[in-house]
Structure 1
Amino acid sequence: MSDPQKQTIKVVDAFDLDDELRSLLKPGTMVRDPLGRRHRLPRYFYEIPSHEAAVQIRLAPHFGLNEFILVDLREAQRLQQFPRYVPCAVRILAFCLQQFRASVGASVHIAVNGGYRSPSHKMAINGTPHMWGTAADIYRIGPNILKTKEAIERFNEIALDLSDDVMVMPYGHETGQDADDHIHLDLGYVTVIPREISEDRMEIPQETRPRFAFEERRRRDRRAPQPAAEMAPTGTEKPQ
C-alpha cells in the first residue's frame, strides 16, 4: 500500500469529462444563493479512482477524503460510482475541520450527505456551499450526538472563533436556514485551482485532449524554488 502522505491526487477540468458527468456537475454554471446572489460552480475537481483510494488519501491528519463524499440515493446514480469527483476546495474545508477538531478536543464526524453534494443532489438547493465542497454537516463530536440547542450553540461558538470566514447555521427547525440535529459549518463559495493545472484553454469540452494534472504532496517543503543567485552555499558571499 502506498504512503498516504506521498500519494498524488489527479486534478481534472470538468469541462473535459463526458457529457453525462458534465450535465451532473454543471461546471461554470451560475446558481443563486438564498439571498439571490449569483455564484459560479467549480470547474476543477479531484478524481477519486476507487473506494480504497478515498479511504487512504488524507486531506488533513484526521480527515480522509472518503469522509467528504458520503452520500445516499439522493445523489445522482452516476456520481455514486467510481471514479468519483469532488471540488478541489474540499482541501481547505478539511484544514478548517482539523482546526475545529483541535479546538473541541474530540473527534468530528460528518453526516451522510453532509459533505460534498453535486448540483444534481436532491438536497442541493439554493446554491448551498455543499456544491463547492466547502460545507460540512457535523452530527457527532466525540461521544456527543448533536440534538440539543445547548450543544449545537456551544459548538457553533467554537466554530465561529476559528475564523471570520466561517459561517454556521443557528439552532432551529427550518430546513436550509437552521439546524436542530447537526452543526452546519461552511466557508462560503470558495473555488481552488491547484498550481499543477493549466487554465490556458477555453471552457468547451476537450475530451480528445483532456486537461489534467497530478497534485503533488507539499507537506514538508512548501518553499518556491529560489533563483540561482540566491542559492549560494552557507558561509559564502553572493557576488556584488
Structure 2
Amino acid sequence: MSEMGLLPLRVVDARELDTKFRAVLRPGEPVRDRDGTPHQLPAFFYEVPSWNAAMEIQIAPHFRLSEFLHVDVREADPQRRFPRYVPLAITLLAAHLEVLREAVDTYVHISANGGYRSPAHALSASGSPHLWGTAANIYRIGDDFLDTEKQIARYTQLVREVLPGVWVRPYGHGIGFADDHLHLDLGHLSVEPRGVRAEDEDRGGTTPGKEETAA
C-alpha cells in the first residue's frame, strides 16, 4: 500500500500482516467499551521501521512520533520491537495536541504508555481510545505536573476552551477517573486511506475501518 500524506512511512492493511502482528493488533475486530457499545479496532497502520525513525519523524510542529510510542514491558513483545505499527489516526491526535501546545506556549509531555497501546497491552481494557491512537495521557505541561485536582481542573478547562470536541476524563480515583495525569481523547476514530474501498471490492472483501466518533 502506498504512503499517506507526507510522512515517510509505509501504510499497511494490518489484516495482511503476519500472524504474530495480527494477534496483537486485532485489526478490524469488534471490542466493547465500558458501556457495552461495540467499536471496530483500526485496520490501517503506519509501519515504523526503527526507533531512530520515530525520533526523527515530526507528525506535528512540536511533536515527534516517538512521543506517542513510549511503552514498557506491559506492551506485547511485537510492539516493543521494530517494525512497530501505529494507527493512522495518530496524526489527528497530534494535530489536536498541537492546538493545545500553541495555547499553553510550552512543552506538553505525554506519559509512558500514555499514547498508542495495542489491544494486547496489559493496560488495554474496555475499548479505550488508546487502542485507536486517539487518546493521550499528559502528565506535565511546562513546569506544571498534573497530579493535583487543582492543576487537572485548570487544564481541563483550557482543553474545553481550545478543543471543544475533545473528551477529558474527570478528576478522581478509580476506574473512569484520573488523578495523576490529564487524559484527553477524540473517541473511537479510525482512518482509512483513499482508494481502500475500491481495493477491497477487487479482492471481494469489506473494509471494517469506518470512522467512528464517541460523544
Same fold (TM over 0.5): yes
Higher helix share: 2
Q: Using the alignment, how far apart are the partners of 1:6 and 1:95 within structure 2?
A: 14
TM-score, scaled to structure 2: 0.88
Alpha-carbon shift at residue 196 of structure 1 (Å): 6.7
The answer on whether the counterparts of 1:165 and 1:188 sit within 8 Å (CA) in structure 2 is no
Larger RCO, structure (CA 8 Å, separation 6 or more)? 1
The residue that corresponds to 1:84 in the other structure is 84
The residue that corresponds to 1:133 in the other structure is 133
The change in CA–CA distance for 1:67 and 1:199 in structure 2 (over 3 A counts) is farther
Alpha-carbon shift at residue 187 of structure 1 (Å): 0.2
The residue that corresponds to 2:29 in the other structure is 29
> Gaps (5+ residues) in structure 2?
208-215
Q: Using the alignment, how far apart are the partners of 1:196 and 1:105 within structure 2?
A: 38
> Gaps (5+ residues) in structure 1?
205-240
Q: Using the alignment, how far apart are the partners of 1:152 and 1:21 within structure 2?
A: 36
The residue that corresponds to 2:49 in the other structure is 49
Q: Using the alignment, how far apart are the partners of 2:196 and 2:69 within structure 1?
A: 23
The residue that corresponds to 1:207 in the other structure is none
Backbone CA RMSD of aligned residues: 1.7
TM-score, scaled to structure 1: 0.79
Q: Using the alignment, how far apart are the partners of 1:162 and 1:10 within structure 2?
A: 32
> Per-residue CA shift, 1:36-61, capped at 9, x if unaligned?
11100000000000011101111100
Amino acid at match of 1:9: L
Q: Which structure has the larger Rg over C-alpha atoms? A: 1
Alpha-carbon shift at residue 146 of structure 1 (Å): 1.1
Provide the secondary structure at the position in 2 that maps to 1:165.
coil
> Per-residue CA shift, 1:70-127, capped at 9, x if unaligned?
0000000111100010000000000000001111221100000000000000100000
Percent identity between the aligned chains? 48
Amino acid at match of 2:157: E
Amino acid at match of 1:184: H
Q: Using the alignment, how far apart are the partners of 2:122 and 2:206 within structure 1?
A: 26
Provide the secondary structure at the position in 2 that maps to 1:200.
helix
Amino acid at match of 2:32: R
The residue that corresponds to 2:188 in the other structure is 189
Amino acid at match of 2:108: V
Q: Using the alignment, how far apart are the partners of 1:18 and 1:30 within structure 2?
A: 20
The answer on whether the counterparts of 2:69 and 2:115 sit within 8 Å (CA) in structure 1 is yes
Write out the 4+ residue segments of structure 1 that deviate beyond 6 Å after TM superposition. none
Amino acid at match of 1:49: P
Q: Using the alignment, how far apart are the partners of 1:198 and 1:12 within structure 2?
A: 14
The change in CA–CA distance for 1:42 and 1:6 in structure 2 (over 3 A counts) is closer
The change in CA–CA distance for 1:10 and 1:149 in structure 2 (over 3 A counts) is same
